Amino acid sequence: MIRVAIKGLLRRKTRALLTSLAVVLGVAMISGTFVLTDTIQRAFTNVFDTAYESTSVIITGKEFVKESSTHPTVPASLLERVRSQPGVAAAAGGLTDDGVRLIGRDGKALGGSSGQGVGFGIDPSQPRFSPIKLTSGTWAKGPDQVVIDAGSAKDHHYGIGDSIAAKANGPIRRYTITGTGKLGGATIGGLTLATFDVPTAQALFNKQGRFDEIDVAAASGVSQEQLARRLAPLLPASAQLKTSDEQAEEGAKQVSSGISVIRTFLLVFGGIALFVGAFVIFNTISITVAQRARELATLRTLGASRRQVLRSVVLETLIIGVLASAIGMLAGLGLAKGLDALFTALGLELPKAGTVLTLRTVAISMGAGTLVTLLAGIFPAIRATRVPPISAVREGAVLPPSRFAPARPYVAAATIVLGIAAIADGIFAGGSAGAVLVPMGAGTLLLFLGVAMISTHLVRPLAAVVGRPARSLGGSAGRLAARNAVRNPGRTASTAAALMIGLALVTFVATLGAGLRDSFAHSLNEQIRADYIVSPGGDADAPVFPVAAGQTLAKTPGVTVASSVRSDRAHVNGETTGVVGVDPATIGRVYRFEITHGAGLSGLATGAMVPDGYAKDHELAIGSRLTLQTASGTTRSLPVTGTYEPATVEGLIGGIVIGQATFDSAFPQPGNAYTFVSGTASPEALDAALASYPDAKLDSKAAWIAADQKDLDKTLMLLYVLLALSVIVSLFGMVNTMILSVFERTRELGMLRAIGMSRRQARRMIRHESVITALIGAALGLPLGVFLAAIVTSGLSDQGIGFHLPLGPLAAFTVVAALAGIVAAILPARRASRLDVLRALQYE
């Protein structure tokens, strides 16, 4: 039976190839995801290994507040005390700031909007501790010198001795390039690097008398742990100490945590593609088994047992799964490059290093593809064992119906109900992201399975509607195509179900995105009263921009109000929360606050205003006191003087609101999240005022809201591209089904040609049949996607998200489905039209 299975595959090479492609694409997505994320991981690992290869112990400030824009520091005076300790071979202070940007000759930040910039302060006498390794020139020494990264120097044609501009939290300054360098052993996306000596960096980063870290090298014979124990008594309460191994491990964990999000996100789409591929495999093997009914019956007549028939079909499926998985796993190497290019095109350039293919990637890719193929093929294989031997002598033998067929509608209905219940549980029960997404994902899969199971009973009514153009405009070929589409409802339903899944998900994304766009625009229009908004951006992508930018705008002629909003995070009531600093005298003129209790904005001179929900959760009343601990470790106690209701969606101001003077005294490095501007000043005058601050971007209110929606559109485009993979998989399923249908109807096509059907009419008939099948998939998928979006938006209604039906995209998806049907029919139609009439009539 093994030889029978192998010979059967070799006789049906085209069918096996098309079936394999459904698995190849899904496995390639899984393999490519692991290759891409493992490559990113290696890039950062190289950086950490290089940065700490000459360091034994690292002293840094304690991180009192997670995700604060203020980096904890240590006093510079600690350095000399560390150097004087026995067992210390060398020590140096260093600084790092992720808000430093190099400014090109055109006045724009290098790296573009997708890039980021990091500045370093290093001791030129102790280059061993520098994360930057010189590739040419010398280290920067003095207030007017800088070392830049070799990539920026090459891409923008800078050489040693050239002048280049740079900025941090202040105006642009010019520096002379003394050298170029690289960070670790990898290229970190669009990252630009600027390295100064320590005094210059302290002045530029506004950290005079402070270091971000002190790097210490142990003397010969002293271990990291021994040195750490000797230095620990020297540390102030605001400092902490870690060995280089511990620091590198912690950095790797942080990177791994971020990468796992990307990995999970991409694996979901690989899983979707495999899920769709399972429908294709199931349908293809089912059709193949049905067409081989007489062959299988002959084997039974010759003595083959049911187990042997089962083993033969399963072996065919296994061979297809293994070979397709192997091809897909290797194809993932190329797909990883494509995913990287996709993220780069969307402004999300990822780190780069040598391509990494691990044994885990091979095992998971091969295992997932093979398992999905086997699961999809097991039911057709079981069905093959039910072919009675008598079928060997019957003309047009068919497979006997399953004994479970009468129960199928009830099972389908139960599956649909269970799926909807799981989706509703995920949306309305709330909780963590996992508690929401897991039941939603499982419920969606059950819903798709249930609809696919019941779609057999929907094929005829749907075909009557979507097949009307073919019957009216396609002539006799179109009428035959409409009848052929419903000849085998189960086969048509299975083919359409694969396309249904992709279109349902795309429709869901489009409908939910339309609701988000409409809700975001309405919310922002309600909140903003200013004529212009200044936000972080331009050619930099930092969370805040310099305070001086807002102060400069306030002095610009024609500006009647320029109210800045500071933003950072603090530790309050045992948890980390956002803190916003506003000017009570001006913010109400440019931003709408919905004050619910207390003194409102006037109370911010001495107190704090908190959201209603926060006050309720923490049992706060007017007069209650809040203790804020900032990233530097300092604390500030403030009374609650008011409460407000923040915007439910796309709120620009949220968290604890305090006065700007209080904010600036509590946070050592304040920055603006927004500056709202109103007045008669022209946009040109405002742009001129911001010329020295390229990381502050000016927009009119309408333009800023449109730009905010463009970010959402980028996310939607990424989802569309990734979901397109599942549509492509379903396309291969349609091609496969149509080719198998042509094989099955060879004699019928020969008879049609014999009685006068032209080759063009034969092609038209196959094309119309394919389009009808695709439109049935659209008729199932589009309403299903809208239904899913309606459930989700219903669950998000309390957060201000409304339901909006995107008629334009839905019409476009219908056209795409029809085009998919036309494309899928190209090869089958060509084969049908080229059949030799006499041979076709003799075919059996």
Q: Facing residues of 241 across strands?
A: 59
Cα 481–chain centre separation: 41
Distance between CA 439 and CA 425 in Å, rounded? 7
* Residue 393: band (very low, low, confident or very high) from pLDDT cuts 50, 70, 90: very low
Asked if 32 and 350 count as a contact pair (C-beta separation under 8 A), the reply is no
Q: What is the mean pLDDT of residues 142-169?
A: 90
Sorting pLDDT into bands at 50, 70 and 90, what band is 676?
A: very high
Q: What is the pLDDT of residue 312?
A: 79
Chain-wide mean pLDDT for the chain?
Answer: 84
pLDDT band at 539 (very low <50, low <70, confident <90, very high): very low
The conformation of residue 123, written as its DSSP 8-state character, comes to -
CB distance 293 to 391 below 8 Å = yes
Which tokens belong to 458? 């929907």
Look at residue 397 in the predicted model and tell me its pLDDT. 45
Strands 163-167, 101-103: pairing is: antiparallel
Mean pLDDT value across residues 422-435? 73
User: How many CB atoms within 10 Å of residue 84?
Assistant: 10
Q: What is the pLDDT of residues 76-105, one digit of tens each?
A: 999 999 999 999 999 999 999 887 888 888
pLDDT in tens, 477-529: 888 888 888 888 887 888 888 888 889 999 999 998 888 888 888 889 999 99
Q: What percent of the chain has pLDDT over 70?
A: 89
Mean pLDDT score, 817-829: 87
Average pLDDT over residues 383-404: 58
Confidence of residue 763 (pLDDT cuts 50, 70, 90): confident
The larger pLDDT score, comparing residue 165 to residue 540, is at 165
Whose structure tokens read 């957060």?
Answer: 799
| More confident site: 556 or 184 | 556
- Residues 118-137 have a mean pLDDT of 90
* Better-scored residue on pLDDT, 382 or 193: 193
Comparison of pLDDT for 299 and 522, the residue scoring more: 522
Provide the CB-side half-sphere exposure for 645 (13 A, CA): 7
Q: Do 166 and 104 contact (CB within 8 A), yes or no?
A: no
The band of 395, judged by pLDDT with boundaries at 50, 70 and 90, is very low
Above 80 in pLDDT, residue 114?
A: no
pLDDT digits (tens, 9 = 90+) for 515-527: 888 888 888 999 9
Q: How confident is the model at residue 185 (pLDDT cuts 50, 70, 90)?
A: low
The model's pTM = 0.78
| Residues 481 and 765: beta-carbon distance below 8 Å | yes
- Do residues 656 and 675 touch, judged by C-beta distance below 8 A? no
Q: How many residues does the chain have?
A: 844
Quickly count: other Cβ atoms within 10 Å of residue 226's Cβ: 15
More confident residue, 218 or 730: 218
What are the structure tokens assigned to 45, written together?
A: 């690992």
Helices (H), 238-292: 244-291
- In angstroms, the CA 698 to CA 543 distance is 15
Q: What is the pLDDT of residue 540?
A: 43
Give residue 192's pLDDT: 86
